Amino acid sequence: MTDTDLDALVTRVRERVTPDAAERERLRAAASDLVARATAAVADLPEPADEADVLQVGSTARGTWLAGDRDIDVFVRFPTSIPTSDLETYGLRVGHATLPDGREEYAEHPYVKGEYEGFDVDLVPCYDVESAADIRSSVDRTPFHNAYLAARLDDALSGEVRAFKRFLKGIGVYGSDLRTEGFSGYLAELLVLEHGSFRATVGAAADWTPPVEFDPEGHGRASFDDPLVVVDPTDPERNVAAVLSRDNLARFQHHARDLLADPRESVFFPPERPPMSAEEVHEHVRRRGTAPVAVAFDAPDVVDDQLYPQLRRSLDGLERELSGRGFEVVRSTTAATEPDDGRRALLLFELAHRTLPAVERHEGPPVHVRDHAEGFYRKYADADAYGPFVADGRYVVEREREERDAAALLDSDLLFEAALGARVETALRAGYDVLAGEELAGLDGEFGDELRAYFEPHV
């Protein structure tokens, strides 16, 4: 490849992801209407709430959204003199006035979400604090981010940001939600701002040796334990990349190098992979010669930012439980279907073997530690176990294993001896299914995409 290849590719991608004039105008008009309607609603509030200002924030406000994105964020910024309960009440009042068909959602405060002229709109209350360091909740920070970037991103840089965001989307690491654990839009914007272009950003990332730290304003005071640190230009205490996982940073570095070596549009716009069929699942299980066991259940009714961390904690807890009992976990994964009435969740463990020997080795104290040794020997001398015998200076017995079948273990109360996420535990206590071996193929309907990703993994 030549530099020209990559430059030409970035130009093509920019063209595909830059909204055209009509889209810009539609968005401008809609945002303008929404701000006007919210402003009118604010005027009807009692003082001093009626001093709140209304502003559009986010990528559609900053001009860095990708063509086709339909999110408009409108913030109502209240004076800090009003109590939180009033902020929430007035915020919802303004929200419902602005979006009559909207519904209430809950993040750090309740807010109203709705549709307007084909756009997905969030109408969010926040406090008008002095600086981002004084925030009361994280939404208070957003207007500062907006102001910081608006002053620094020109059209050319915005185009580079769009290409970079599209790249992050293409490789699957775009989003600072706790399901994705990837790059936020703000982080993407700061990285391009720091390096000056798309090319310079991926060129630098290809050679990073984490931990990597950027501090655009040179004001960082805290020390962070994250693999990538970008000190928030509006808040020296905050790492903008705190949510980014180590593995997603590694994926980013891989794809940065891969793109430099072989620039191609499909990295930005990868073909969609079809869900995996039951036959394909069968074939992979057979080819791998492993013993998958899975727990499928009705997902607890919590938002994704709570659900996915809880699922991961439960996956880790059960993996430790299985390993501690002698089962070798080859790989594992967790998944949930899209939020809807019948949302399902999955904890999948691919084991080297579904069953273990009937006996398990249990090592006692060194024989020379008389008190402990005599106690151990007495306990097992007449027990239904092999031994005690001596190995490496210790008493050893081989006693009957409590549960030698992993599927039976998961199907019993032993499941609850694992450290589980609290809401996942509650959900499991209401009931769950255990699937083993080729029964896994029956998950293709609900988890076909996740099974594709699991059985045909790539970076």
Binding site residues, a copy of itself, CB under 8 A: 206-210, 227, 246-247, 249-251, 253-254, 257, 287-290, 326, 328, 330-331, 352-353, 355-359, 361, 366-370, 373-374, 377, 386-395, 398, 404, 455-459
> Minimum distance between the CB of residue 347 and a copy of itself, rounded to whole angstroms?
17
* Strand pairing report for 344-351 and 119-127: unpaired
Q: Token match 């992050």: residue? A: 168
Is the CB of 405 or the CB of 425 nearer to a copy of itself? Answer: 405
Residue 71: is it exposed, middle or buried by C-beta count within 10 angstroms (0-12/13-18/19+)?
Answer: middle
Is the CB of 340 or the CB of 392 nearer to a copy of itself? Answer: 392
Structure tokens at 377: 């020997």
Is the CB of 313 or the CB of 361 nearer to a copy of itself? Answer: 361
> Minimum distance between the CB of residue 2 and a copy of itself, rounded to whole angstroms?
19
Is the CB of 165 or the CB of 251 nearer to a copy of itself? Answer: 251
CA angle 69, 96, 302 (to 5 degrees): 65
Is the CB of 115 or the CB of 207 nearer to a copy of itself? Answer: 207
59 labeled binding residue: yes
> Minimum distance between the CB of residue 353 and a copy of itself, rounded to whole angstroms?
5
Residue 154: is it exposed, middle or buried by C-beta count within 10 angstroms (0-12/13-18/19+)?
Answer: exposed
Residue 274: is it exposed, middle or buried by C-beta count within 10 angstroms (0-12/13-18/19+)?
Answer: exposed
Q: Token match 């990285």: residue? A: 191
> Minimum distance between the CB of residue 268 and a copy of itself, rounded to whole angstroms?
20
96 labeled binding residue: no
Residues in contact with 153: Cβ distance below 8 Å, sequence separation at least 6, in sequence order: 62, 63, 64, 161, 189, 193
> Minimum distance between the CB of residue 442 and a copy of itself, rounded to whole angstroms?
21
169 labeled binding residue: no
Contact 198, 164 (CB under 8 A): yes
Is the CB of 165 or the CB of 404 nearer to a copy of itself? Answer: 404
Structure tokens at 290: 């492993």
Q: What are the distances in angstroms from CA 25 to CA 28, 29, 75?
A: 5, 6, 21
113 labeled binding residue: no
Binding site residues for CTP, as ranges? 59, 62, 145, 165, 174
Binding site residues, as ranges? 59, 62, 71, 73, 122, 145, 165, 174
Binding site residues for ATP, as ranges? 59, 62, 145, 165, 174
Binding site residues for Mg(2+), as ranges? 71, 73, 122
